[in-house]
Chain A
Amino acid sequence: MSVEFRKDLFADERDDDLNEIGKPTQRQDMLGHVTGRSPFYDDHLFEGLLHMRCVRSPHHHARIRSIDTSEAERLPGVKKVIVGSDVPNNLNALLSLLDFGLDDEPLLSDKKVSYKGEPVAAIVADSERIARDAVAKVRVDWEVLPHVLDVEEAIKPGAPSVNGAYPANKFIYHGKYDHQKLRYGDVDAALRQADHVIEGRYQMSPIEQAPMETCGAIAAPETNDRFVCYTATQGLFFSLGTAAKLLDLSSARLHFIGGTVGGGFGGKVDSLHEPLAILGCMLTGKPCKYMFDREDEMQVGAPRGAERWYITDGVMNDGHIVARKFIGYFDAGAYTRLSSYAIIKGAGHLPGPYTIPNVYADIYCVYTNRTPATAMRGFGITGVDFAIENHMDKVANTVGIDPIELRILNAYRDGDMKAHRREAKNTALIECCQVAAEKSGWQTSDWVKQQSSLSGGGGERGQLPTHTATDQHGFVQDGQSGSYGGGSKRQEKSAYAETAAARAAPPAAAPPLRSMPVAQPPTQPARTPEPVQSAPAPAPATGPTAEPPQPQTRRSPARFSSISGLRRR
C-alpha cells in the first residue's frame, strides 16, 4: 500500500528539505524481524535459569486471611516462595514517578485482592512446570468480598470500596475534586437557548494490546553487586525507576537492557516483571525469569480501559453547536496505573476538533474490581473521539444536515480559542473532511470545497468567554493526590469526605451568550461566505490549564501544558 502525501495542503508552512519527515523510511529492525534474527529478551540464555509463576486471586474482590506456602516450599525444585512481606517497598503507583497519584498498588498483595488474577505470591523454581505445580499447592484462605464491575455502580453510596488509597472509588484530582473539571463558558445557559438538545450515551470495552511477545523479564546477578535485567519493556528507564522504588535499591545497581519489544502498543509500560524477576534473583542469587503466558497476558495484562461517555449538545437549527456537555467515566480497574493521566489528556482534547463556545466536562477516574487499565495507543483520546464522532453523526441526523457539512461548519480553525484555553494552531479538520469526502466519492456542496482551516478563525472566536460558570461540586475535603496539588507525598491513605455544603454552589445569573461569528452555514445560501482572509494573529492565550478559574490562593505549576501541541513553523 502506497502512502499518498498531500503536499498541496499547507505547502507554504512546511520545509520539504528534511531528510526523514515526509519520506517513507524503513524501520531499522525490519530486517532482523523478518529474518528471525532480532534478539528478544527471552533469547538471552543463562546457566541455571530459574522460573517464576504467580499465585493469583480467583476472586474479583477478597480479603486474604492467610497464605500457606509450606507444601509448595517442600516441593523438590522450588527455590523460593515470595510473598508481599518480602517486597522491600510493597506499594507503588506507576504515576508516582511523574509525581501524580498516591501509591495504591502492591507488587504482591498481602491484605486483599481487588481484581481476578491479582498476584499474592510468586514461586521461583528450577523449571516452569515445577513453578506451576507449586502454585497449585499454595493454600490461600480467602474471605470473599462483594465486588463491583460497573463504573456508575462503583461510585454510588454503599458500593464496595475497591482501592484503599481512594476509598470512594474515585481518583482525587488536584487534591480537591473527585473528578477532573473542564469549564468554559456557560453550558446550561446555552442549552436553554438552543433549538435542539441532543443527548447520547457511548460505551467502550476494554481492549487488550495482545502483543505477540508476552510481557516478561530476566534478571541475573552482575559484577559490582549489580543486577542485569533483560526486559521487553516499552519504557526502559521508567521500568528501571519503578524497580528501584519497589525494591528500595539505588538505580545505580540496576543495569537494564531492552531495545527489542515484540509488540507493545502501550501494554508493556506497567513494569511488573522487572521488579519481580530482580527480587527473585536477589533472594536466590540465581538468574530468574518472570514471563506472562498467553492466558496471563489476556486475563492479567492491563488493557486499554473502558470508557463511558454521556454527551449533551445544544444545537441551533442552522447546525451550529453552541454548547457541549460531557460526563465521562474511565474504568481504571482496581488500581490507578495510568488512568488518571489519561483523563488529563482527554480533558485537553475536549470538545474534539470543534469550536464550541460553551463546554463543560466532569470526568471521573473510577476504580472497579476489574483488571487495572493502562496505556494503549492514544488512550484518553481515542475513546472520547469515538463518542464525539458518533455524536456528530447523531446531531447531523437530528438537525438534517450532511455530516461532512456539519463537521466543517463547527470545525476549529487557526486562531480559535480551545476549551482548555489555548489557541488552536495547525488545524486541519476541514482539509481532512474534504479529502475524506473526495476519496470516498461523497457528494459535497461548493461551500464545503471552499472552506479552509486558514481562514474564518480567530477574531471573536479567539477570545475567551466573557463569563464562565464555575462550581464546587465534587469538592473533597482533606484530599491528597501526592505532592502534585500541594499535598504531601507518600500518604498512607487519603482520608476525605464530600461535604454537603461543598456541593453545587448556585450558579451566577447567566449572562447573554457570546455570539460566535463563524463560517456561513450552507443552509443559508442568501448569506455570502466570508471573504478568505488571513487570520490576524490573536493575542496569545494566557489562561490556566483545564481547571476552572480558582482563587489565587494556590497556583500550582501548569503541568501537562504541552498538550496544546506544536506551533506551525
Chain B
Amino acid sequence: MPVRVETFSQVEEAARALSSNQKARIYGGGTILMRSVNEGDQSFDTLFRLTDPTLKDIRSEGDRVLIGAAVTMAEIIRHRDLSFLADAARAVGGPAIRTTATIAGNLLAPPPYGDLATALVALGAEVRFAGQGSANVPIDEFMRDRESRKGSVVTAVSVPRLADPTALRFLKVTRVKPKGVALMSIAALLPRAGGRIDGFRIAYGNMGPTPLRVAAVERALEGSSLDEAGITRAAAVATEGLDPPTDALASAWYRREVAPVHLRRLLLGQTG
C-alpha cells in the first residue's frame, strides 16, 4: 500500500489525530523515518506533515531558551544564542542531514543516533508536549520512559542559557575518521563558580538504550576543580552502574575499556 501524507497547520490538531491512528507517524526531518519508508516498514502507512510555524521558533523564556521541535541542526549551529550547542549539533551527520534533521527527531532517535540529545541531557534540558501548555518534563525523566511516550507529540525543548558557552563540552567517539556513527558520545556540563565547579552533569550516548546521565562520575567530580586527581577518580568509575550495549560498532567490553580514556580526554580538554 502506498504511504499517504497528511498535512496539519496546528500541532494540537496533529496530536489529536495521532492518538486515534496507530499507523501514523510524525514526519520531522525524515532522516530516520524515510529510511523506514524506503525499506517498506509495514508498521505505518501514514505520515503527518506539520506546518505549524511555532515549531520553528527559537525564543528566550527568562533564563532559558525555547527551541521549537522542528528546528534543524543547521539552524541551531547558525543561531547566536545557541553557540554552546553548536559542537553537538555539528556532530550529527553531514550537511544534507543537518539541513533537515530536527531537535525533536534527535531526542527520539534510537541508538546509535542521538548526539545532540546527549548534550541536551548534560545541559538539563526540558521537553514540552502538545496539549500540556507550558508544563515541562525534565529530560532525565523523558529519557527514562521514552518508549512509553510514543503517541504524544514533542513541541519544544527548553535549555538553560549558558553564560559561558565553553561550560558545555561534547565529544563524539567514532571509529571511522573523520566522521562516522558514534560508538559513544560524551557531554559534560562544567559550570564554573569562582575557582571551583559546581553542579557537574555528565551524559553518555550509546552506552545504554537512551542517552543517560552518569551519576557515579558526577559524584566523583563533585567539589573537584577538574585537577588530575579528580579526573582520575572520575575515570575510575566511568562506566559504574552502566550496561553498555554490544552492537555492530563495538562490544560492551570495548565500550567499557575506552569510556574512561575518552572521558579523561574530554575533562582534560585534550580532545583537540
Contact = CB atoms under 8 A, between A and B. Distances in A.
Same complex for A and B? Answer: yes
Nearest to A134: B40
A129 B42 CA distance: 10
Interface in B107-129: none
B227 interface: no
Interface in B1-59: 1-3, 38-40, 42
Chief secondary structure at chain A's binding surface: helix
Pick from B1, B3, B39, B40 the residue with the most CB of A within 10 Å: B40
A14 to B, nearest CB: 38
A293 B38 contact: yes
A133 B39 contact: no
Nearest to B38: A293
B39 A295 contact: yes
B209 to A, nearest CB: 22
A293 B42 contact: no
Chief secondary structure at chain B's binding surface: loop
B266 to A, nearest CB: 30
B1 A133 contact: yes
Contacts, number: 16
Contacts of A133: 1, 40, 42
A132 B39 contact: yes
Nearest to B1: A133
Contacts of B38: 293
A129 B1 CA distance: 7
B157 to A, nearest CB: 31
Interface in A276-325: 293, 295
B39 A293 contact: yes
B2 to A, nearest CB: 6
A80 to B, nearest CB: 18
A77 to B, nearest CB: 10
B38 to A, nearest CB: 7
A432 interface: no
A154 interface: no
A53 B42 CA distance: 15
A129 B2 contact: yes
Interface in A132-153: 132-133, 135-136
A129 B40 contact: yes
Contacts of B2: 129
A135 B40 contact: yes
A295 B36 CA distance: 12
Interface in A116-142: 128-129, 132-133, 135-136
A129 B40 CA distance: 6
Contacts of B40: 53, 128-129, 132-133, 135-136
Nearest to A53: B40
Nearest to B41: A132
A409 B30 CA distance: 61
A263 B134 CA distance: 53
Contacts of B3: 129
Contacts of B42: 133, 136
Contacts of A136: 40, 42
A295 B39 CA distance: 9
A135 B42 CA distance: 10
A135 B41 CA distance: 11
Contacts of A53: 40
Nearest to A76: B1
B131 to A, nearest CB: 33
A132 B42 CA distance: 9
Contacts of A128: 40
A538 B3 CA distance: 74
Nearest to A131: B40
Contacts of A135: 40
A132 B45 CA distance: 13
Interface in B216-238: none
Contacts of A129: 2-3, 40
Interface in A61-100: none
A57 to B, nearest CB: 17
A567 B232 CA distance: 61
B40 to A, nearest CB: 3
Nearest to B2: A129
Contacts of B1: 133
Contacts of A295: 39
A161 to B, nearest CB: 29
Nearest to B3: A129
A549 to B, nearest CB: 47
B48 to A, nearest CB: 19
Interface string B161-175: 000000000000000
Interface string B189-204: 0000000000000000
A173 B42 CA distance: 47
A504 B227 CA distance: 66
B232 to A, nearest CB: 32
Interface in A488-544: none
Interface in B37-91: 38-40, 42
A133 B3 CA distance: 11
Interface in A413-461: none
Contacts of B39: 132, 293, 295
B139 to A, nearest CB: 32
A358 to B, nearest CB: 39
B199 to A, nearest CB: 43
A299 to B, nearest CB: 11
Nearest to A298: B248
Contacts of A132: 39-40
Contacts of A293: 38-39
A479 to B, nearest CB: 39
A114 to B, nearest CB: 22
Interface string A227-248: 0000000000000000000000
A50 to B, nearest CB: 16
A136 B39 CA distance: 11
A130 to B, nearest CB: 8
A465 B1 CA distance: 71
B251 to A, nearest CB: 12
A6 to B, nearest CB: 30
Interface in B135-166: none
A283 to B, nearest CB: 22
A128 B40 CA distance: 9
A133 B39 CA distance: 10
A136 B38 CA distance: 14
A562 to B, nearest CB: 38
Nearest to A128: B40
B272 to A, nearest CB: 25
A144 B1 CA distance: 31
A128 B42 CA distance: 14
Nearest to B37: A129
A471 B42 CA distance: 58
A377 B1 CA distance: 42
B253 to A, nearest CB: 16
Interface string A44-63: 00000000010000000000
A118 B1 CA distance: 25
A287 to B, nearest CB: 21
A174 B116 CA distance: 59
B241 to A, nearest CB: 31
A129 B39 CA distance: 8
6 contacts: A129-B2, A129-B3, A132-B39, A133-B1, A136-B40, A295-B39
Given A53-B40, A133-B1, A136-B42, 5 more contacts: A128-B40, A129-B2, A132-B39, A132-B40, A133-B40
Closest 7 interchain pairs by CB? A132-B40, A136-B42, A133-B1, A129-B40, A133-B40, A129-B2, A295-B39
